[in-house]
Amino acid sequence: MRRVTAIVIQVAMDEEAQPFLDAAREVSDPIAVGRAVHRGIVLGDATVVLVRSGIGMVNAADAAAGAIHRYGPDDIVLISAGSAGGLARGVRVGEVVVGASAVNVEADARAFGYALGQVPGMPEVYGTDPALRRALADTRVGDIAVREGDMGAGEKFVTTGIADRLRADFPGLVSVDMETTAVAQVAHNHGARFAACRAISDLCAPDGDEFATHIDDAAERSARVVIDALARLTA
């Protein structure tokens, strides 16, 4: 991996941050940057910034922009980590999805000739950095299953009815969450390298019970894959 000035791991929730804090050799005092909370942590030989953004697209975009302005933008890496809902048929709770692309599942400017999911003036989808994606996808940690796939994000927690619509509108999506595409768009706007690594916490069930049951395990699995990939990238 070429020289970096900062590696930023961004999560939405405290539950998603905790596995990184537990694995860290050193943890700095937290710093509030807007609503986001930043901590410097040492994972193996890698010094990274762990950012807890808060839930949702606006919080995620605000936190990513704050990190870029504070630590970059030149040679900064942004990694969206944590949990996601499984959208594709056959995806399983506990699998880790490494993002091949990210799309805004709530954007709809088709009346003006744009593709579904495309914000006017922006790409139809946001790609991920090939080297980062490859390192994440090649990770083999314990019994964790890792797959590459297209991700979506929007402002809704996706339950059954919404999931059915998304499968029809975006048939290639493997997972959906509430932050990844916002981070991807900010990275695109600033020329930052971007990757996403989310573990499936639920299968877009009628309520949030499945998510609540599996969030801690999903957060742990996502973190283990990210930490393993960073160890190889920074060796």
Q: Residue 109 corresponds to which tokens in the numbers above? A: 């400017």
Query: Could you read off the pLDDT of 19-48 as tens digits, one per residue?
Result: 999 999 999 999 999 999 999 999 999 999
Query: Could you read off the pLDDT of 183-207 as tens digits, one per residue?
Result: 999 999 999 999 999 999 999 877 7
204 dihedral zone (left: phi>0; alpha: psi -120 to 50; beta): left
Query: Could you read off the pLDDT of 52-67 as tens digits, one per residue?
Result: 999 999 999 999 999 9
Q: Give the per-residue pLDDT at 234.
A: 87
How do 36-43 and 76-86 pair as beta strands? unpaired
**Which residues are tagged catalytic?**
16, 202
- Of residues 233 and 37, more confidently modeled: 37
pTM for this entry? 0.95
How do 6-11 and 76-86 pair as beta strands? parallel
Query: Could you read off the pLDDT of 128-153 as tens digits, one per residue?
Result: 999 999 999 999 999 999 999 999 99
Under the banding of pLDDT at 50, 70 and 90, the label for residue 1 is very low
Which residues make beta-bridge pairs with 196?
Answer: 80
CATH topology of domain 6-233: Rossmann fold (3.40.50)
Look-up of token digits 């590459």: 148
Separation of alpha carbons 148 and 150, rounded Å: 7
